[in-house]
Amino acid sequence: MTRPLDHEGAGALIRQDAIRTLLAALASPGEETRIVGGAVRNALLGRPVTEIDLATTLLPEVTSRRARAAGLKAVPTGIEHGTVTVIVEGIPFEVTTLREDVETDGRRAVVRFGRSFEHDALRRDFTVNALSVGEDGQVRDYTDGVADLAAGRVRFIGDARQRIREDFLRVLRFFRFSAEYAEGPLDPEGLHAAIAEREGLSILSKERVRAELLKLLVARRTTEVVAVLSETGLLLRVSGEIPELGRFARASGLDAAGRLAAMLVWTEEDAERLRERLRLSNAEHDRLATYARLLARLKSAPVLDRAEARRLAFLNGVAPLLEAVAVLAGEPRPIVVEDGAQQIEAFRSGEGAPAFHLTGGDLVRQGIPPGPEIGRRLAEAKRAWLEAGCPDGPVP
């Protein structure tokens, strides 16, 4: 089965006012600039285009000079790789000089600037990422990427193992792009190459692995593709944890951190190990640790009734509680009784977490002198309030 492609939409990219302004600024006899990569791919599929990258025969210093001469701001954001960010009408566009690989070590490449769009395309990873649109609005395709896009295939350009050896992150990119753009089984050659070159994952930085894995977890077909990643042993290799794929499937409505927690976290120690292994941000680690605490409580409490649901919402927040309950749906525990289900539904409908309203000032007004006794009384009152299921109204 093939899917229709929007060639008119791809050609329309070049006719956007900001792009026309940029191309006019860079225009020079014997030189050429095209839109390349993901913008062309997504436009052909009729998907949103969030950013537009361009490739040019101009050297980076010439790109900067010509952009500034036209009154545009040019920022050398990746000048060592030939990339200049040009700001047009408040929109940033990365303009990169055509390149050819001189040497690669599996993490980074030594490149030289070139003048061939075909050579530049052939050094990319997948055929669907090697497309470009010229100033005439026509799609240029040197790798049969258009046919692969229509057929729902994600294939490496040329020899798959060689492409991976140039940058071992392409192992994970193969799964991520397959989850986002492919239909049906993964490309057999690419899958075999990813498994065969798995040792190369160990030389990658934790930050690069984290970024790629989190993108995969929110891709369109992530549940199917992550199952394959797990079956091959590659998920265990990058995460160090055995995945819980049933919970991962039930976490389909969550963001990347929520899905990561559902799939790989059982205890707070797991959250700590993943923070180190994947260089998670503090916010991401906190999400995982909160999920671990909720998981432990939900699995150990006899039932999830109204009082327990309100306690958990107060201690952990409504959103984390709702996520955990959704991930555990259908498992023997927690046992959700009727009033617990009603409270969960109320939270889903917008009810906020219960609030503890008693303050030190309230106690002072009741005649208790300021000092340590205030703190002790507040702590006792909060414990009693929690045990009572966080009732609304004034604290007794």
Average the pLDDT over 261-277 and give the result: 98
Angle between helices 338-348 and 318-327 in degrees, nearest 10: 120
Q: What is the pLDDT of residue 168?
A: 97
Q: Is residue 376 scored above 60 in pLDDT?
A: yes
Q: Which long-range contacts (CB under 8 A, 24 or more apart) does 144-149 make?
A: 145/41, 146/5, 146/44, 149/5, 149/41, 149/44, 149/45, 149/181
Between CA 255 and CA 239 the distance in angstroms is 18
Distance, in Å, from the CA atom of 161 to the CA atom of 143, rounded to the nearest integer, reads: 17
Whether 182 and 188 have beta carbons less than 8 Å apart is answered as: no
Are residues 121 and 211 both part of a single domain? no
Q: Give the pLDDT confidence score for residue 110 in this predicted structure.
A: 66
Res 112: pLDDT: 83
What is the CA angle 321-359-308, rounded to 5? 25
Length of the chain: 396
Q: What is the pLDDT of residue 104?
A: 66
Q: Are 301 and 289 part of one and the same domain?
A: yes
**Range with lowest mean pLDDT among 61-70, 161-170, 363-372:** 363-372
Strand partners, 92: 87
Q: Are residues 118 and 2 in the same domain?
A: yes
Residue range 223-243: average pLDDT? 97
165: pLDDT strictly greater than 60: yes
Rounded-to-integer distance, Cα 245 and Cα 243, Å = 6
Same domain, 1 and 145: yes
Given a cut of 80, whether residue 393 has pLDDT beyond it is no
Q: 14 with 128, same domain?
A: yes
CA distance 375 to 377: 5
For the stretch 178-221, pLDDT in tens is 999 999 999 999 999 999 999 999 999 999 999 999 999 999 99
Are residues 363 and 282 part of one domain? no
What is the reported pLDDT for 1?
Answer: 64
Query: What tens digit of pLDDT does each residue of 249-262 get?
Result: 999 999 999 999 99
pLDDT at residue 372, as a whole number: 87
pLDDT, mean of residues 369-386:
91
The better pLDDT of the pair 111, 94 is held by 94
In total, how many domains does the chain have? 4
- Short-list 224, 319, 241, 249, CA closest to 280: 241
Residue 368: the pLDDT is 86
pLDDT in tens, 283-295: 999 999 999 999 9
- Considering the domain architecture, whether residues 149 and 1 belong to the same structural domain is answered as yes
- CATH of residue 141: 3.30.460.10
Residue 25 sits in the same domain as residue 170: no
Q: State the average pLDDT over residues 56-71.
A: 97
- pLDDT, residue 207, reads 97
pLDDT band at 107 (very low <50, low <70, confident <90, very high): low
What is the model's pLDDT at position 106?
A: 57
Based on the fold, state whether residues 198 and 330 are members of the same structural domain: no
Q: Which domain does 330 fall in, by range?
A: 240-354
The reply to whether omega before 369 is within 30° of 0 (cis) is: no
Q: What is the pLDDT of residue 102?
A: 64
- For all residues of the chain together, what is the average pLDDT? 95
Say yes or no to pLDDT of 395 above 70.
Answer: no
Among 8-17, 155-164, 199-208, 364-373, the range scoring the smallest mean pLDDT is 364-373
Q: pLDDT-based confidence at 103, cuts 50/70/90?
A: low
Domain containing residue 162: CATH number? 1.10.3090.10
- Let me know whether 31 and 148 are in one domain: yes
For the full predicted model, state whether its pTM sits above 0.85: yes
User: Looking at residue 385, what is its pLDDT?
Assistant: 94
Same domain, 16 and 86: yes
Same domain, 311 and 380: no
